Amino acid sequence: MSNNKRNLFSKGDIFIVGTVIIISLCFLFSAFNSANESDKAVCIKVNGEIYTEISLSKSQEPREIRLENNGHNAVIYIEKGEVCFSYSDCPDKLCVNQGKISKTGESIVCLPGRFSASIISLKNDSGLDAVVH
């Protein structure tokens, strides 16, 4: 019966650790959101040139940006300060699989279509140029 005891103990441990992780994640998430809200934008590029820039905010209505280049099509989906490729006809689908980005400096690139989406900071004036690659 000592096995039973040990199992109960480890289950309880996992529960406590899990709860602590969830609480701290929630805390980090809300702290991050309130700190940087509306200071960010997504810079969408096609063929290395800026196609559009859209400022991000948590209360943003969903919107889709359709991109077309060199026979490739992609759709960038923006909602509540998060950006992702919701569709792409590229063969590898790396851009779609990368999921959502929302933090300054993060970016998604679709190589076949030469599309990219980068989160940039609007805090300083040189921020826009600094992220250009």
Our finding on whether 110 is near Zn ion (CB under 5 A) is yes
Q: Tell which residue, 37, 18, 28, 15, has the closest CA to residue 82.
A: 37
Q: Cβ of residue 99: shortest distance to Zn ion, in angstroms?
A: 13
Residue type, 17: V
Candidate list 44, 82, 88, 108; residue touching Zn ion; CB under 5 A: 88
From CA 1, how far away is CA 96, in angstroms rounded?
50
Residue with tokens 């991109």: 67
Our finding on whether 90 is near Zn ion (CB under 5 A) is yes
**Considering only 6-14, 31-39, 62-70, 92-100, which stretch makes contact with Zn ion by CB under 5 A?**
92-100
From CA 4, how far away is CA 10, in angstroms rounded?
10
**Considering only 10-18, 48-56, 62-70, 80-88, which stretch makes contact with Zn ion by CB under 5 A?**
80-88
From CA 25, how far away is CA 44, in angstroms rounded?
29
- Nearer to Zn ion by Cβ, of 36 and 46: the residue is 46
State the residues that interact with Zn ion by CB under 5 A.
88, 90, 95, 110
